[in-house]
């Protein structure tokens, strides 16, 4: 596994852990919905080719020139 795949795997694992911790304070209905969303990552082997990740875009500051 290359560095990018390791980082992505760690990110997904962190999201799952955070989601499970968050379930402690949710209502049963909300807990069920959250569980359905992250359940695929919990119960299935991780296939990074199937995961959609949005890249980070470089933010450029633009200044308004004074006349």
State the pLDDT at residue 42: 76
State the pLDDT at residue 29: 94
User: In the structure encoding, which two tokens stand for residue 19, read together?
Assistant: 């989601």
Q: Answer whether 15's CB lies under 8 Å from 53's CB.
A: no
User: What's the whole-model pTM score?
Assistant: 0.53
Q: Mean pLDDT in the chain?
A: 78
| Parts of the chain with a pLDDT under 50 | none
Residue 54, classed as helix, strand or coil, is: coil
């Amino acid at each position: 596994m290359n560095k990018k795949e390791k980082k992505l795997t760690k990110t997904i694992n962190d999201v799952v852990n955070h989601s499970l911790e968050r379930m402690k304070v949710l209502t049963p209905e909300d807990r069920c919905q959250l569980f359905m969303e992250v359940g695929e990552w919990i119960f299935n082997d991780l296939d990074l080719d199937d995961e959609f990740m949005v890249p980070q875009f470089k933010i450029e500051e633009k200044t308004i020139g004074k006349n």
